[in-house]
Amino acid sequence: MKLRALIHSCSNEQVARAALISIGGEFADRVAAEAARRGIPCGGYVAQSVRDFEHNSDLCVWAAVEQVMHSSEQPILAGLYFILHHCLAHARSADRCDSQGRVVHSGNDGPLGLEFAV
């Protein structure tokens, strides 16, 4: 249920931006840099990442997020961190593929079809 609350609240751009500010630090800077690279506002990138997670992640990844949230004092922020980390890993993977001359589908704003190692 906490994961559904995260998805519901952080699908809103303003809420997503505020949650990222709450996480802060180098991690928030990396997320902001990825948003800038894509040419979208930071809150928009976070909200889109959350929506992409909801629609495209498999049950194993959902279970991993729920486990992280269950054991955290700040479950929403811990879950958001996990989801965004997942998205950033995907972005790095896509960049490596692109730099190696392989086909990378444009317009991929989140973890489409990725499996996260748990």
pTM surpassing 0.85? no
- The pLDDT, as a whole number, for residue 95 is 59
The CA-atom distances, in angstroms, between 43 and each of 34, 92, 99, 111 are: 11, 20, 27, 17
Phi/psi at 52 (nearest 5 deg)? Answer: -65, -40
What are the boundaries of each domain within the chain?
2-98
Asked if residue 7 lies in contact with residue 69, where contact means CB atoms within 8 angstroms, the answer is no
What does R_g of the chain's alpha carbons equal in angstroms?
Answer: 14
pLDDT in tens, the chain (118 residues): 789 999 999 999 999 999 999 999 999 999 999 999 999 999 999 999 999 999 999 899 999 999 999 999 999 999 999 999 998 987 766 555 554 443 333 333 333 233 333 3
- The pLDDT, as a whole number, for residue 107 is 38
Of 34, 12, 24, which Cα lies nearest the Cα of 86?
34
The CA-atom distances, in angstroms, between 83 and each of 87, 100, 112 are: 6, 26, 12
- The pLDDT, as a whole number, for residue 110 is 33
- The pLDDT, as a whole number, for residue 93 is 61
Asked if residue 98 lies in contact with residue 91, where contact means CB atoms within 8 angstroms, the answer is no
- The pLDDT, as a whole number, for residue 94 is 59
In residues, how long is the chain? 118
